[in-house]
Amino acid sequence: MQRLGRLAYLSADVIGVLVFCAVGRRSHDEGLSVTGVATTAWPFLSGTVVGWLVSRAWRRPTAVVPTGVIVWLCTVAVGMGLRKASSAGVAASFVVVAASVTAVLLLGWRAVVGLTRRRRSDV
């Protein structure tokens, strides 16, 4: 796989995390400034990078299992750990929402890619 392809897949994860953070900030009337979204996103983006490294996502970036699951779990676990360490909120309800929404975003695009590839190979 070419480097550009891997970067596009990493970008899909980054965009998913940024969407999660922007929507969350918007729904809590916290504003959508670049600084605000970055402040909310950095712990989760750090977790996404950890997930890419742990899963070696560059090898099979579109695989839901194990790549997507590892990236997702690291995004949530590391993200929440860093939020707690930086005195940001980690209420149980937030953990549930963050885990659910990031699962849809980080696993969802991989599932769509997999289904699209299967349909193309069936034709």
Q: pLDDT tens digits for 50-80?
A: 999 999 999 999 999 999 999 999 999 999 9
Q: DSSP letter at 60?
A: S
CB 13 within 8 A of CB 48: yes
CB 51 within 8 A of CB 103: no
Tokens representing 28 are 């809590």
The residue behind tokens 């996502």 is: 57
pTM: 0.93
Does the pLDDT at position 48 exceed 70? yes
DSSP 10-59: HHHHHHHHHHHHHHHHHHTT----HHHHHHHHHHHHHHHHHHHHHHTTTT
